């Protein structure tokens, strides 16, 4: 796939003033130390009438967390909606992570968007355009749909992309999201087109996403996606079969 031409176009859109650095999808980090094995932790009951798997909040760091806010094991994923390895991880992990770990109250899961490349800017703006409770489910659905985005971009001819590049800057990102199929995808899931256009024009939010990416790189040495933190420690970029034992080592068993 000729993703370079898509990246060059989108880097000239809203992303250009953000000084956005690009990383790699699925790159293995050097920091892979896991938590020290300890005793199994007891399950933590949710408040009456609630379930931890239904508890989703936005965190002060800009992520979206599902589960017990006081969970003794805090899992954070730096993920990119354009990343195929993140999509694979979501497919392999989410039901088990939610139902076996988050629901127990022992593990919370937080998704922090990482701007792996310029495709992630419109995708992340649209995924966070609705309610807080919808963000993680929408992200999981987007990852499942992700191959369609690449197919649509591959099918777009040069004249379409050149026409987008000629638009005023504030019109380019919505036009690109339309060609990539993102607008249609989110419209079918409750994000109306007018609402989507407003979210795509939110430069402050786009800058916050870029800043979050930069902070993750500087603070936690995030160099690829998906990369995971367990209780603040970078345990590396890996799949579910490698990550699940680390959660068990931390006491989620």
pLDDT digits (tens, 9 = 90+) for 183-215: 999 999 999 999 999 999 999 999 999 999 999
Q: Can you give the pLDDT at residue 194?
A: 94
Whole-prediction pTM: 0.88
Q: For the chain, what is the largest distance between any 2 Cα atoms, rounded to a whole number of angstroms?
A: 61
Nearest-angstrom CA–CA distance, 179 and 185: 11
Nearest-angstrom CA–CA distance, 83 and 103: 26
For the chain, residues with pLDDT lower than 70 are 1-23, 26-37
Other CB atoms within 10 A of residue 69 CB:
11
CATH code: domain 3-38+51-249 is 3.40.30.10
Q: Can you give the pLDDT at residue 14?
A: 43
Q: Can you give the pLDDT at residue 15?
A: 42
Other CB atoms within 10 A of residue 115 CB:
28
Q: Can you give the pLDDT at residue 25?
A: 83
Q: Can you give the pLDDT at residue 1?
A: 33
Q: Can you give the pLDDT at residue 158?
A: 85
Q: Can you give the pLDDT at residue 146?
A: 98
pLDDT digits (tens, 9 = 90+) for 216-240: 999 999 999 999 999 999 999 999 9
Q: How far is CA 248 from the centre of its chain?
A: 24
Q: Can you give the pLDDT at residue 162?
A: 87
- Residue ranges of domains in the chain: 3-38+51-249
Strand pairing category for 73-79 and 107-113: parallel
Nearest-angstrom CA–CA distance, 156 and 23: 25
Q: Can you give the pLDDT at residue 32?
A: 53
Q: Can you give the pLDDT at residue 35?
A: 56
């Amino acid at each position: 796939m000729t993703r370079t031409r898509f990246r060059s176009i989108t880097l000239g859109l809203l992303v250009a003033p953000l000084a956005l650095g690009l990383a790699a999808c699925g790159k293995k980090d050097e920091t892979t130390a896991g938590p020290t094995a300890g005793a199994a932790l007891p399950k933590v009951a949710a408040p009456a009438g609630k379930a931890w798997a239904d508890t989703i909040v936005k965190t002060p760091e800009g992520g979206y967390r599902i589960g017990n806010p006081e969970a003794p094991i805090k899992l954070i994923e730096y993920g990119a909606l354009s990343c195929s390895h993140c999509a694979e991880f979501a497919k392999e992990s989410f039901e088990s992570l939610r139902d076996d770990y988050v629901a127990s109250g022992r593990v919370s899961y937080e998704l922090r968007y990482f701007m792996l490349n310029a495709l992630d800017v419109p995708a992340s703006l649209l995924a966070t355009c609705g309610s807080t409770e919808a963000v993680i489910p929408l992200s999981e659905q987007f990852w499942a749909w992700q191959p369609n985005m690449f197919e649509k971009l591959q099918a777009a001819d040069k004249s379409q992309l050149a026409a987008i590049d000629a638009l005023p800057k504030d019109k380019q990102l919505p036009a690109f999201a339309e060609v990539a199929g993102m607008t249609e995808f989110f419209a079918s899931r409750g994000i109306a087109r007018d609402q989507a256009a407003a979210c795509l024009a939110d430069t402050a939010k786009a800058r916050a996403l870029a800043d979050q990416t930069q902070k993750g790189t500087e603070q936690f040495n995030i160099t690829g996606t998906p990369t995971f933190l367990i209780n603040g420690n970078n345990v590396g970029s890996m799949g579910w079969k490698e990550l699940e034992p680390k959660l068990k080592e931390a006491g989620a068993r």
